[in-house]
Amino acid sequence: MFTPAAKATAEKLGLTLGHPNLEEFAATLEELARANPNIIAVTSDSRGSGKLGPFGKALPKQLVEVGIAEQNLVGVTAGLAACGKKPFGVSPACFLTARSLEQIKNDVCYSDVPAVLAGISAGVSYGALGSTHHSLHDIATLRAIHNISIVVPADNFETHEAVRAAARAEHPVYLRFGKAPMYTLHKPDARFEIGKAITLREGTDAALIATGETVVHCLLAAAQLAERGIQCRVISMHTVKPLDVDAVLRAGRECRAVITAEEHSVHGGLGEACAAALLRAGVHVPFRIAGIPDEDTVTGAQADIFRHYGLSMEGLTATVTAALSRIGPI
Amino acid sequence: MTDQELQRKSIELRKTLLRVIFNAGAGHTGGGLSCLDILNVLYNRVLRVSPETFNDPHRDRYVQSKGHSVEALYVVLADRGFFPSSQLDTLCHYRSPFVGHPTRKIPGIEMNTGALGHGLSICVGMALAARMDAAPYRVFTLLGDGELAEGSNWEAAMAAAHYRLDNLIALIDHNTLQITGPTREVCCNEPLDEKWRAFGWTVRTVNGHDFAQLTTALQTPPEPGKPTCVIANTVKGKGVSFMEGVAKWHHGVPNKAELDQALAELDAALSVASVS
């Protein structure tokens, strides 16, 4: 996932490599479920992919397996939620949010049951498996559906907090996880709240607003740029919906350029959400969206795909440099 | 309530349903008439639920998977006192909560449905929740026979049998017609009974307009460890001669003359039912 240069930069920043957010999700869910028997994991032959094997062994009565049947998974999850349970429907994001989209829209969101849907191995986590297994649409589609929060944690801390917050939520929540080990980006005293962005680094030359597994690459790019005297603000926009519009507008008003980054199609995701927020408020600022373009997506490891589309430290550094060079010298 | 009383009530409810659809200028007339006797038996004989107990976590659950026949559900719920019948005059009006498919905004309705192939999965989740809580409630759903073309039903059917959900009862409104024509011709899904048995369910086939048969099928205890499918053979447009068995009444709306004729037929049937 990280080039030697990126690892060296992370080391300079004092970042420590944690485990995959997916593993943090599973561990947190088990911890919560041990204390609350109403927490139920619903899987579609996905307990292995979801790292829920230990959960199933420890709490067999709190795991519902429906087999390879994602539509049924979401319907069952909704039914459990309607009868007092706190279910987490867990399935690869590519299937969960495409094959079962109507169940998400109607059974969960429209019926307004307190269900949590966890899209695992999201984005291009399954990069080498081809577009059937990529989820580059899920943020866009769910943004257009009323009554669901979309949370894409960047590191183990955000994952832990997001799972806990989702377990408390009274309305539907979509959690999106990748499976690469993640650097821990936050200080121990960091605070997490759904809908509130976290600023990881201050700066006013450019703002990097990112979500999920691209956040770390933005932080690394900011460190690279700082060595050249360019100070970037880095914002972890872990909640894409509801968007922290204030954080976006502050970035647009206080920084000379805004660059968004996401492991998602450039259509309908975080970037376009930020662009719309800026335009609606009349904030005009040089703006770039780093994401997956509307094309036959290149395949390979997640790291290969990130490099290919400029979502790596090196690519994001170049994007910021290019955006600022069009404005003129600092 | 006796069978005769249920029969009279069904005729009155059919009259209300037709008036409501006529006033709204929209509705699913044929399917509403075909499932109305089923709903009458459910709400007046079988379901342990009432306006007073609707928030009781141990109430029986009913999810109408064939959501387009919501007008029949509305008139039955109004008759049971979940809300005043006068509210039905707002059906499909601007900002009325009485929309053309069930929503939880209406007292007595458990889940928002309307897209087909959703109710059974939801009910599997509900029945699992009851099992987990060792709660006594049962879970019922009503499916259309045309709806069974949706593959998600069979995902849910497998799961229900796998989990041995004998607290789950699926009713099929087997009126054999869908919007395009006879279900056998659109995309045949017969024989239904063999399919459900093959999926591990107990199957009971009844005349869906016979109150005694419906009652027996719904009140007979389940086979232990098996979900129950009640195939209710019904007539689309039941009770109105020119609507019975005619696919165009799937969502046909009567004009004034047709309404008057239908009401006259139902009044005549009521007279017969009252003296028999």
The strand pair at A86-92 and A149-151 is best described as unpaired
User: Rounded CA gap, A75 and A108, in Å?
Assistant: 8
Q: One fold for both A4-16+188-325 and A18-184?
A: yes
Chain-chain contact of B121 with A106 (C-beta, under 8 angstroms): no
Residue A56 pLDDT greater than 90, yes or no: yes
Using a CB–CB cutoff of 8 Å, tell me whether B129 touches chain A.
Answer: yes
Write down the pLDDT at residue A329. Answer: 60
Using a CB–CB cutoff of 8 Å, tell me whether A268 touches chain B.
Answer: no
- CATH number assigned to the domain comprising residue B215: 3.40.50.970
Write down the pLDDT at residue A330. Answer: 55
Low-confidence ranges of chain B (pLDDT < 70): 276
Tokens of A185: 């980006």
Chain-chain contact of A72 with B159 (C-beta, under 8 angstroms): yes
Closest CA to B105 of A103, A83, A111: A111
Give the side-chain half-sphere CA count within 13 A for A328: 0
Write down the pLDDT at residue B137. Answer: 98
pLDDT digits (tens, 9 = 90+) for A139-163: 999 999 999 999 999 999 999 999 9
User: Rounded CA gap, A233 and A211, in Å?
Assistant: 14
A-chain residues within 8 Å CB-CB of B127? 79
% residues pLDDT > 90 (chain B)? 98
B104 with B114: CB under 8 angstroms? no
pLDDT digits (tens, 9 = 90+) for B31-81: 999 999 999 999 999 999 999 999 999 999 999 999 999 999 999 999 999
- Domain A18-184: assigned CATH number: 3.40.50.970
pLDDT digits (tens, 9 = 90+) for B107-137: 999 999 999 999 999 999 999 999 999 999 9
A-chain residues within 8 Å CB-CB of B115? 102, 106
Using a CB–CB cutoff of 8 Å, tell me whether A66 touches chain B.
Answer: yes
User: Rounded CA gap, A229 and A231, in Å?
Assistant: 6
Interface contacts (A, B; CB < 8 Å) = 102
Domain locations along chain A? 4-16+188-325, 18-184
Reduce the DSSP state of residue A2 to 3 states and report it: coil
Which domain covers residue B243, as residue numbers?
A: 3-275
Confidence label for A2 from pLDDT (cuts 50, 70 and 90)? confident
Write down the pLDDT at residue B28. Answer: 95
Q: Which of B103, B124, B151 is opposite residue A79, by nearest beta carbon?
A: B124
pLDDT digits (tens, 9 = 90+) for A156-202: 999 999 999 999 999 999 999 999 999 999 988 899 999 999 999 99
Q: What is the ipTM of this complex?
A: 0.97
Which residue type, as a one-letter code, is found at position A63?
L
Confidence label for A105 from pLDDT (cuts 50, 70 and 90)? very high
Tokens of A184: 């821990």
Give the distance from residue A117's alpha carbon to the nearest chain B alpha carbon, in angstroms. 15
DSSP-derived secondary structure for chain B? --HHHHHHHHHHHHHHHHHHHHHHT---HHHHHHHHHHHHHIIIII----GGGTT-TTS-EEEESSGGGHHHHHHHHHHTTSS-GGGGGGTT-TT-S--SS--TTSTT--S---STT-HHHHHHHHHHHHHHTT----EEEEEETGGGGSTHHHHHHHHHHHTT-TTEEEEEEE--EETTEEHHHHH----HHHHHHHTT-EEEEEETT-HHHHHHHHHSPPPTT--EEEEEE--TTTT-TTTTT-GGGGS----HHHHHHHHHHHHHHHHHHHH-
Write down the pLDDT at residue A326. Answer: 76
User: Rounded CA gap, B195 and B201, in Å?
Assistant: 9
- Minimum CA–CA partner of B156 in chain A: A72
Q: How many distinct structural domains can be found in chain B?
A: 1
User: Rounded CA gap, A41 and A29, in Å?
Assistant: 8
Write down the pLDDT at residue B67. Answer: 96
Q: Let me know if domain A4-16+188-325 sits in CATH 3.40.50.300.
A: no
The alpha carbon dihedral of A11, A13, A17, A21 has a sign of: negative
Using a CB–CB cutoff of 8 Å, tell me whether B118 touches chain A.
Answer: yes
Which CA distances in Å does B41 have to A107, B76, B91, B115? 26, 10, 24, 25
A135 with A94: CB under 8 angstroms? yes
Using a CB–CB cutoff of 8 Å, tell me whether B132 touches chain A.
Answer: yes
Cis upstream peptide for A114 (omega within 30°) = no
User: Rounded CA gap, B11 and B265, in Å?
Assistant: 10
